[in-house]
Structures are given as structure tokens and as C-alpha cells.
Amino acid sequence: MSAAPAAPAEQKLDFDPDALREKYRAERDKRLRSDGEAQYLEMSGRFAHYNEDDPYVAPGFTRAPLTDEIDVAVIGGGFSGLLAGARLKEAGVKNFRIIEAGGDFGGTWYWNRYPGAQCDIESYCYLPLLEELNYIPKEKYSYVTEIFEHSQRIGREYGLYDVTCFQTRVTSIDWDGASKRWIVSSNRKDRMKARFVIMALGPASRPKLPGIPGIDDFEGHSFHTSRWDYAYTGGDTNGGMTKLGDKRVAIIGTGATAIQCVPFVAKYAKQLYVFQRTPSSVDLRGNRPTDPEWVKTLKPGWQRARRENFAGILTGQTFEEDLVNDGWTDIFRNVLALPKSDKPMTPEEIGRTMELADFRKMNGIRARVDNTVAHKPTAESLKPWYRQFCKRPTFNDEYLPAFNQPNVELVDVSAARGVERITKKGVVANGHEYEVDCIIYASGFEISTEFRRRVGLEINGEGGKSLFDHWADGFRTLHGFSTRGFPNWFYIGISQNALSVNMTAMFDEQARHIAYVIKETQARQGKTVQPTQEAQDAWVELISKLQLNNRAFLEACTPGYYNNEGTVRAGLGAGTYTPGINAFNALLQEWREQGEMKGLEIGT
Ligand code: NDP
């Protein structure tokens, strides 16, 4: 009897899966810290200035506090707030106000103007309202200037500047049961009254600092990447940072942000030290100008179709053509999609097939490092040893070559689980003090930390109950947007809805849906709207049935915000609607078409 033929995935392996698995485990263990997410410092108290100082506005802005009444308060003027504004207008809801901490629209793209800042989702999918505004991005991947300008364009074209309070941070919202309104308080001593509130904060609006001992002691200059200090560096987001010519600079962190700004600092600084704990996976960028001939071929509805094609491929749907055809869709086609098979695969076969595809993909990423970085020990340190979705994949063509420059040094701090200490003169790592003039923290955001911490404002509903206590054991919502006990309160973001890497497409459908609910409530003379207990319970149950069972995957990963720094408290994507964004949007559309406001209780 002959042996059974090897499954296609098992044939011709030019690597040893067991050895790779063991290497991944060792690299994870090396980095696990007992303090998990608590290792990071919140930007409050003595660190508040890292977050609250706005380098883009003139100091001294004042205005009288607002105590007036509006129908809707939209908190946040990034893309989710802009989309809420645009969709409210389209729905005919006129009396609303956007409240925004920054001095202009843009949200993450207002704050993150670090050199080289760029969106790694294709611009034709990412930038919202392209057809409505008849705008085509200049390149396949837009840089921050174009993205920021586009947010201003939305503000202008939809008349949103007239209804926005800039430079205003909401500090709390409190439900007033007597007037059936939210009291919206801010750092400008406002106490606005709003019938409805839409939270449009964005998932990365609160930066965080690494909890490195001595961080207060540094006597040089320091800032977080999301508040780039061009007064210090010179230049702007396109470069020109000539003031760094005589400066020794440390960048701490090597996530998606650092990958983009390192090549620019490398170009201008006298000396750059990049302190790396875990390397990013850096794949090909391949940006290119928009082809005018392609633009001529676009038919009405093209942006929605493209977004659905992109999202569909990322959730395993089959399409005749991969319209975006980039690094993201490559990962999904080659790592997450299963090969066609005559007989159904067992869960073990599926797991093994996907693991092998992942090993192959990451071997390619590691080979790219070897082919680019000349100094062998540096190349070794730059290789990521984990599965592709343990961390946010990155795409850049200038990052790795920067390490071939004589003024750039990679300092691998993985052995000590991070930078050891900051002194008044610089950064201590591996027992050596690196004296620097400036420290730039590329240390990320409160994306998956505890909900209270990442939201950064108080939310008190019926009976003064805090939302954070209400959700202490996890989200309880209908469709991810609203929760019982918090009437007229809507949340745009990552909750019990479908997650997409193309955040703006996700926010747009959420905004559209919330605008519909508000319009319908008003049309029915309702003063309040909130989910019924039954509808909410049913949605929570559905989500818990559908939710991604990726705990084992995340536990095997090097720590980061995707796995709550290794603790896998919830994990990114936990509790989301796993059939995917296209299925979720279809479900919402059908719900709206039924016209019954099913599962919502309207109070008069
Ligand atoms: P990340 O959270 O991805 O990175 C933080 C970095 O700081 C990590 O490299 C981390 O190391 C490092 N770090 C933290 N503490 C220490 C320490 N004590 N010593 C040394 N290093 C330390 O933040 P980013 O700002 O880079 O990215 C956040 C997210 O923002 C991205 O994942 C992405 O979602 C989004 N983004 C999107 C872009 C886009 O193109 N659309 C562009 C930029 C950002 P370790 O990995 O070991 O924890």
C-alpha cells in the first residue's frame, strides 16, 4: 500500500515549520511583560501637554461659553464626524453642531502631520465622498496634505464650517431625564443641550507614551509623532527639516508611524537612533500617480463598488477582478484564502494550510530585509518573527534602505523588553547611554486599551449611570451604535459592528444609518430613541455566536495593541460582526428598508 499523497500545502516546503513556530514562540516570550497594557502612560496630568498642545493654531483662542439648544451634537470632526455631518444634512437634519478639539477638520489627519504621513489604504477607497464631491485623488496612496485638504473640502462643500466649534474638547456628556436632552460640557465651559449625541471620536485619537523610567528627566526636546514640532525640526510634512542638520535624534517605536517618518528624519538629522522593540513587517508600497485614462473609465457608483470589492476580498468573497490589487489584497488572497479543494477541509487542515501560507508570506518579508539592508546584524534585527496579522502590516519603499545610511543606527531593545531608561541627556538601552538632542515618541495610541481610557470623556446616561460601568463586562448594543439606558446616544467606531481596515468606508455606513435613525425619530415626533432590552440582548447573543475565535492566534503573537500587549483581554476584532462589512451593511440597509425601526423604542 502506498502512502497517501501530501496535501498541496505540504509539498515542496523549503522551510521547517516546526523551527519557525519555535522561533516565533521564543520571540514572543522575549517580549512579554507582566505589566501588559499598564506599561503605557496616559497623556493626562503632567503628560497632558503632549496631547493638548496644538502646534497648528495660534495661542490665545477664547470664546464665550455656549449654553444653547441643538438637535444633534457630533463629537469629533475627523472623517467620522464629517461623515455624520454630511449624512445628517442629506437626511434633512439641519440643527446640529460638530465639536472638535483641533483647529480644523481632519481628526487623525489634522494631528498626524509627521513627515511622510500617508494612508496605506488605497486613496480611491479611503477618501470618502469622492463621487459626491467629484474629486479624484492624485495618487494611489495619498499623503496627509491631500487627505487633510479633502477633509476641509468636505467641511466646505457640506457647509460644516458654519456649524462647528473648533478648539473645544468635550469633557463630559450627561443625560438630563427631565428635559430629555444631553448636557454637553467642554473645556470651554460650554453646557450645550443636545437632543441627540453622536460620538465620532475615531479609534486613534488619544496618543500614549511609553512608560520608560526617567521619561521626565530628559532635558532636551521631545514630542509625540502625532504632534510633530516643525518649529523645532524645520520643514513640513514633505521634508525640508533642515534644523535637524546639527541634531542627534532618537525615535522610539517602529510601528506604522515610524515606518513612514524614519526615512525623512534619516535624510535631515545629523544622527538618528531608531529604538526598536519589535520590527514591523514592511512590504512593498508601489505608489503611483492616478492614471487619467483610468479615471475616464469610471462609471457612477464606482467608489461604492470598489470599496465593496476591496472589503469583500478581505473577507474571503470571490470576485472576478481584484480592483485594488495591492499589498492588502495580496495578503488576503495568499495568506487567508484557502485553496480550492474537492473535499471539505477539517479545521486542523484549514489551520495548517493558513499557517504555511503565512510562513511563506513572512519569509518573503524577511527576504526583502536581506535584499535591502547591507549591514547583516541590522538586517537580522529588522526581521519580523511572527504571523502577518499579529501586528499591523506596513508598506513602504524607503524605510529599510534608510538603515544603509551612515547616520542611521538601529538599536534593538528587544532583550530588555524596551528602552531601559531616559536620562537628562538621552536614552539608555542595552547598558549604553545614547546622548541625543531630541526624542520623538512613535509610541502609538490608545486603540485597544480599556474603553474608559481610550474615550477620554465622561458619559453618564439615565440615572447618572456611567457608560463605562454599564459596559464594564463588554459592549452591549444594538448593531454597535446604541445601548439601552443611554437614550439618543450613538457611537461611530469599532464596537459590535463589522470591522474593516478601510475605516472611512466603515464609518460612512455607520453615519448613514445613525442619520436615518435620528431623522425617523424626529419624523415620528419622538423625543427619545434607544434599543429595547430584547433587541439588544438578541444582538449581543448573535455577536457572541459569530465572534472571531482568534484567541489562540493572538496568544501566540508578539505583544502589541492587537493582543492587548499579550494579555488578550479582548483582542482587536473581538466581538465584531464576522460575516464582514459588506454583509453588515446589507443587513443595515435591509433594516432601514423595512422602515419599522425594529428593535428601537421611541419615547415621546
Ligand atoms: P504602534 O502602537 O503601532 O507602535 C508603537 C511602537 O512603540 C511599537 O513599535 C512599540 O514596540 C514601541 N514601543 C512602545 N513602548 C516601547 C518601549 N518601552 N521601548 C521601545 N519601544 C517601545 O503605533 P503607531 O503610531 O506606529 O501606529 C498605530 C496605528 O495607527 C497603526 O497600527 C495603524 O492602525 C495606524 N496608522 C495607520 C497609518 C495608515 O497608513 N493608515 C499610518 C500610521 C499609523 P512593540 O511593537 O514592541 O510594542
Q: Which of 443, 448, 507 to mutate to test the pocket of ligand 1 (most atoms within 8 A of CB)?
A: 443
Which backbone phi and psi does 69 adopt, to 5 degrees? Answer: -110, 135
Instruction: Provide the grid cell at 96.
Output: 446640529
| Gap from CA of 85 to ligand 1 centroid (Å) | 30
Comparing 137-141, 313-317, 409-413, the range with the smallest average pLDDT is: 313-317
User: Ligand 1 pocket check: which of 39, 43, 251, 277 to mutate, most ligand atoms within 8 Å of Cβ?
Assistant: 277
Angle at 152 between CA 150 and CA 158, to 5 degrees: 100
SS3 257: helix
Atom of ligand 1 nearest to the CA of 119: 40
**Nearest CA, atom 2, ligand 1:** 444
The residue whose CA is least distant from atom 18 of ligand 1 is: 418
Whole-number percent of the chain with pLDDT over 90: 85
In this predicted structure, the answer to whether residue 26 has a pLDDT above a threshold of 60 is yes
Q: What is the dihedral sign for C-alpha 106, 110, 112, 118?
A: positive
How many angstroms does the Cα of residue 254 sit away from the middle of ligand 1? 6
- Report the pLDDT averaged over residues 518-539: 98
Ligand 1 center from residue 353 Cα (angstroms): 29
- Cβ–Cβ under 8 Å, residues 381 and 410: yes
Between the alpha carbon of residue 118 and those of residues 55, 328, 372, the distances in Å are 19, 15, 22
Which DSSP category does 64 fall into? P
| Residue 466 alpha carbon to ligand 1 centre in Å | 30
DSSP secondary structure code for residue 338 in this structure: P
Read off the DSSP letter of residue 416.
T
Separation of 259 CA from ligand 1 center, angstroms?
Answer: 9
Q: In 10 A of CB 12, how many CB atoms?
A: 6
Instruction: Say how far apart CA 313 and CA 324 lie, in whole Å.
Output: 10
Taking all residues of the chain, what is their mean pLDDT, rounded to a whole number? 94
Kindly report the backbone phi and psi dihedral angles of residue 355, in degrees, each rounded to the nearest multiple of 5, phi listed first.
-65, -40
Task: State yes or no: pLDDT of 8 exceeds 70.
Answer: no
Mutate which of 254, 283, 412, 504 for ligand 1 pocket (most atoms within 8 A of beta carbon): 254
Indicate whether 9 pLDDT > 70: no
The span from the CA of 529 to the CA of 521, in Å, is 7
CA distance 278 to 37: 16
Residue 139: other Cβ atoms inside 10 A: 15
- For residue 532, how far is its CA from the centre of ligand 1 (angstroms)? 39
CA of 391 to the centre of ligand 1 (A): 9
Paired with 194 in beta bridges are: 70, 182
Q: Residue count of the chain, please give it.
A: 604
- Ligand 1 binding site (Cβ under 6 Å of any ligand atom): 31, 118-121, 204, 210, 212, 252-258, 275, 277-278, 392, 413, 418-419, 442-445, 559-561
Q: What is the CA radius of gyration of the chain?
A: 24
Cell triple for 295: 479615471
For ligand 1, atom 4, the nearest C-alpha belongs to: 255
Beta strands 170-176; 181-186: pairing state: antiparallel
- Give the mutation target among 108, 205, 225, 392 for probing the ligand 1 site: most ligand atoms within 8 A of CB: 392
Burial (CB < 10 A; 0-12, 13-18, 19+), residue 424, is exposed
CA of 214 to the centre of ligand 1 (A): 21
> Which amino acid, residue 221?
H
Q: What is the DSSP letter of 592?
A: H
Q: Is the pLDDT of residue 155 over 60?
A: yes
Contact 42, 445 (CB under 8 A): no
pLDDT above 60 for 10: no
* Pairing mode, strands 438-441 and 248-252: parallel
pLDDT digits (tens, 9 = 90+) for 370-393: 999 999 999 999 999 999 999 999
pLDDT tens by residue, 233-267: 999 999 999 999 999 999 999 999 999 999 999 99
Percent of the chain with pLDDT over 70: 98
DSSP 118: B
pLDDT for res 6:
47
Q: pLDDT at position 572, please?
A: 65
Q: Which residue has the cell 474615550?
A: 455
Half-sphere exposure of 213 (CA within 13 A, CB side): 6
For the cut 80, the answer to whether the pLDDT of residue 161 exceeds it is yes
SS3 134: coil
* Cβ atoms 117, 237 nearer than 8 A: yes
> Binning pLDDT at 50, 70 and 90, where does residue 279 land?
very high
Q: Report which ligand 1 atom has the smallest distance to the Cα of 414.
A: 47
Quote the CA–CA distance of 545 and 496 in Å, as a whole number. Answer: 12
Q: How remote is the CA of residue 266 from the centroid of ligand 1, in Å?
A: 18
Q: Are 74 and 97 in contact (CB under 8 A)?
A: yes
Secondary structure letter of residue 555 according to DSSP: H
Distance 475 CA to ligand 1 centre (A): 25
- Ligand 1, atom 33, lies closest to the CA of 256
Q: Quick: pLDDT tens for 392-405.
A: 999 999 999 999 99
Which pLDDT does position 570 carry in this prediction? 72
pLDDT beyond 90 at 339? no
Quick one: average pLDDT of 420-448? 96
Is the confidence at residue 5, as pLDDT, over 60?
no
Q: Are 144 and 117 in contact (CB under 8 A)?
A: yes
Q: Shortest CA distance to 138 belongs to which of 291, 286, 285?
A: 291
Contact 264, 274 (CB under 8 A): no
